[in-house]
Amino acid sequence: MKNNMLEELCYLHTNLSKEDVLQLQELVGNLPLIADLNKANIFVDCLTKEGKHAIVVAEAAPTTTKPVYKKSVVGKFAYEAFEPSVLYTLRTGKPAFQNRALTQEGKTVDQSVVPINGANDRVIGALIMEKDVSEQLQNQQKMEALSEATETLSEILIGLTENRPIIPEMIEESLFFIDQEGKILYCNPSAINLIQEIGENDRSIILPLVSYFPRIQAILNEPEELIIQEVEMLNKVFQVKKIKLDQFDKANGMFVIFKNITELREKEKELIVKSVAIREIHHRVKNNLQTVASLLRLQMRRGLPEESKVHFVESLNRITSIASVYEVILSNSSVDDVDIYKLLEKIGNMLVWESEHENKKIMISYSGQHLQIKSNKAVSVALVINELIQNCVKHAFKTMDEGKIDVLFEQKGNDIEVQVIDNGEGYSSKSKPSLGLDIVRMMVEHDLSGYFSIQRTDIGTLATVTFPVEREMSLS
């Protein structure tokens, strides 16, 4: 098949004789071996009838390495502007070795071309070998750029440049440039001031760096090119960076940079102390609320007038709901953020569990995102949801043995919307106003700056609370 293609292309586009074509066919049979041996793509090009350009009549890709071309180029024309070496060899009969060329697929290759001679030493074609050097060229360019940058930095820091202001003079970090023996070749003004802090008033800094700062000896001895460690010295905390400069596998020296982070670490300690204090306050508030709740439960066990019992239960639930806010805070890593999902789940489960003592089977489900809000808003949300769920438990299922409550919450643009839905008897606008709903309206409008609505549905009651998202509120 390959020989038929070669014969057809030669007769159609070249002036080669039948004997020339037969000679090329014999050579083409060996192209795969040549390609594997040289780990390169091999081509045979012939001059066209007009003599202006060449045509590829045969090719072979290596199996011993990745080929240069993804697609076959047999039948493609090779123009002089892109393949000058090929046209040079076809016209002069002289070889051309290791020339850079750009393939039709945009890859850079090393190209070698030798003539194929026929009868009477007449050039009948060119044998071309191409090796992909794109990656090698990129790596070479990167190394050249890196070497140039390293040399420039070294010259700047050693002071070999002209007498112009340089960047290290202006940075706050103490910057040293030392040679392989640790001798200081350059230090910026901040570094000089740091050395003077340890009592070295002589501005002629001639000792090795570790003589001034023995604590960094271990860092300098590490073989890694880049090391960042914290070191305590001079009653301060420093972040020490070591950057080795190697050029052509030869050590040129290293940068050592001291950054004073004492103030940062002190602020971190202050934040930790404040966080511990805040968590302790939350813990005490929660314990105090639980103590009040325990006292109410104790009073209820000792006996209450029947007309007072319901008021004690409502007060107990409100106190417990507020306590739930602080329980959720203490369960989080944050000292003042509350997960709405966890909070509403805790309150709802508590209220539904208490309803089981009245021989009612109430199911409750929750759906929504894990939104984080600050504790001051969470207390208001907890009381509002407590009243709404308690209202369902208390009024929606009076004549029913079982029921269902759905608590839905989501963020809609700049608002948080919470819905409490039940499949009970349904809300009536003619019902006597209750303290619970009055508390809800007051807290939603004044504490949360939001809106509250309650309405009857086909299956029960829908209560909706909407309030704006504050800046400190976040979605985890």
pTM equals 0.41
Domain end position, chosen among 101, 132, 163: 132
Greater pLDDT, 205 or 356: 205
What is the rounded distance in angstroms from the CA atom of residue 34 to the CA atom of residue 29? 10
* CATH (domain of 39): 3.30.450.280
* 187/224 same-domain check: yes
* 208/68 same-domain check: no
* 55/168 same-domain check: no
* 118/154 same-domain check: no
pLDDT of amino acid 399: 80
Task: Read off the pLDDT band of 160 (50, 70, 90).
Answer: very low
pLDDT of amino acid 400: 82
Range of the domain at 85: 2-132
Domain end position, chosen among 205, 227, 260: 260
pLDDT of amino acid 476: 46
Q: What is the mean pLDDT of the chain?
A: 79
* 274/339 same-domain check: yes
Pairing outcome for strands 361-368 and 402-412? parallel
* 71/146 same-domain check: no
- In tens, the pLDDT along 53-108 reads 899 999 999 998 888 888 888 998 888 888 888 999 999 999 988 787 777 666 77
* 75/192 same-domain check: no
pLDDT of amino acid 330: 55
Question: How far apart, in Å, do the first and last CA atoms of the chain sit?
Answer: 66
Domain end position, chosen among 260, 279, 312: 260
* 107/249 same-domain check: no
- In tens, the pLDDT along 7-56 reads 899 999 999 999 999 999 999 989 999 999 988 999 999 999 988 889 99
pLDDT of amino acid 445: 87
pLDDT of amino acid 394: 79
Residue pair 101/82 in contact (Cβ under 8 Å)? The answer is yes
* CATH (domain of 241): 3.30.450.20
pLDDT of amino acid 356: 56
Burial class of residue 466, CB neighbours in 10 A (0-12, 13-18, 19+): middle
How many domains are there within the chain? 3
* 293/403 same-domain check: yes
DSSP alpha helices (H): ranges in 39-100? 84-92
* 38/94 same-domain check: yes
Task: Read off the pLDDT band of 154 (50, 70, 90).
Answer: low
* 406/288 same-domain check: yes
Nearest to 113 by CA among 90, 139, 136, 133: 90
- In this predicted structure, the answer to whether residue 113 has a pLDDT above a threshold of 90 is yes
Nearest to 378 by CA among 285, 462, 271, 311: 285
* 31/109 same-domain check: yes
* CATH (domain of 471): 3.30.565.10
pLDDT of amino acid 378: 79
Residue pair 393/362 in contact (Cβ under 8 Å)? The answer is yes
